[in-house]
Amino acid sequence: MPKNYTVTLPHYSVGPSCYDELGQVTRFYGRTAAVVGGETALAKAGPALKAGFEKAGVKLTEWTVYGKDSTNANVEKIVNNPKVQEADLLFGVGGGRAIDTVKTAADILGKPFFSVPTVSSNCAPVSAIAVIYKDDGALDHYHFPKRCPEHCFIDTTVILDSPEELFWAGIGDALSKQAESQLASRGAELTHTPLLGVQVGLVCEDPLLEYGKQAIEDFRAKRDSHAFTETVLDIIVSTGITSNLTTTKDSYYYNSSLAHCFYNASMVLPSIHKHLHGEVVSFGTLVLHAVDEDDVALERLMTFNHSVGLPVTLAQLDITTPEQVNALVDRAATMKEWTCVPYEMTKDKFRNGIYKVDELGRKFVAKQS
């Protein structure tokens, strides 16, 4: 007999004054809220967000900084905060790591969680997964909340006030979703939920290729344009829905594959830590296509990457020695994502894929210049 299961999908508000919609959402959940986020994020979103709470008639029990990274210690700090414990609702404000930290705490506390992204760099604001790191920056584990965030409030004017490089890297991260979900699920007998997720994943790449470059230009000009909004929604919502529908803790995991395997493994290299998540993932997506021997997709994404300044060579990621590549490959073979392919993975296959991208990338850069 089939088991019961529950699927939750994200709700979201988007636009230049979407915090005005707070009351239409929160009235179903409670009248008090604790707000936890990044220091800069709280400062930038604070005035409009507090006005939204006031308009909604929601009393704030706490307004505090979460810490600096999504670590177990910072999760515990939130969980043990009495002012958080007394609130009906818990809001996470900031980037992916701030939101993942508060998301995890909300799940532990059993409180409805609402996300307020102040950057557009990943799908954390709507996804039912949180990435928890060790104190030294290495990956610790994935936390799987019982539900995705109840609602996500995407104020595009706040995101336009964030660092450009985070938006740029967000495009790089989002470009991996379609390729990874397609590769990880290839040949699998998909039931309704993951099948739906994989199909949603098919709409993640084309909008970025169509709007991404213009969106970066509009970001620089602080234009809240159609291209910018479409790109933000792709980065946060489209990829997040795909993630929620293709991920479970125990039965299936089609959300990720070799692109994030490359990123997670690269964390063993001290030189990589100065590079942004999506920046590294974007190179990992090229590696995925090289390993999968899809030269058409590889050329298409390499062309786009180069057009917006995302990496196409190892040197652009400060990976310059065979020893670094070997250390990365050795680490990759221990990752969950290493197995998210429809064929046997070997270290040689992964290493060869990395070097293939680097060789093509160097030729591509030389040709373009």
Q: Residues at the annotated binding site for glycerol?
A: 173, 260, 277
Which parts of 112-157 are beta strand (E)?
Answer: 113-117, 130-133, 139-143, 151-155
Tokens found for residue 25 = 């959402």
Q: Which residue has the tokens 């995302």?
A: 310
Burial of 176-190, coded b for 16+ CB within 10 Å and e otherwise, reads bbbbbbbbbbeeeeb
Pairing assessment for the beta strands 12-15 and 32-37 based on DSSP bridges: unpaired
Residues annotated in a binding site: 96-100, 118-121, 127, 133, 173, 260, 277
Residues annotated in a binding site for NAD(+): 96-100, 118-121, 127, 133
Closest CA relative to residue 12, chosen from 256, 278, 238: 238
Tell how far CA 321 is from the center of its chain: 29
- Angle value at C-alpha 181, between 176 and 187, nearest 5 degrees: 140
Q: Which residue has the tokens 């307020």?
A: 116
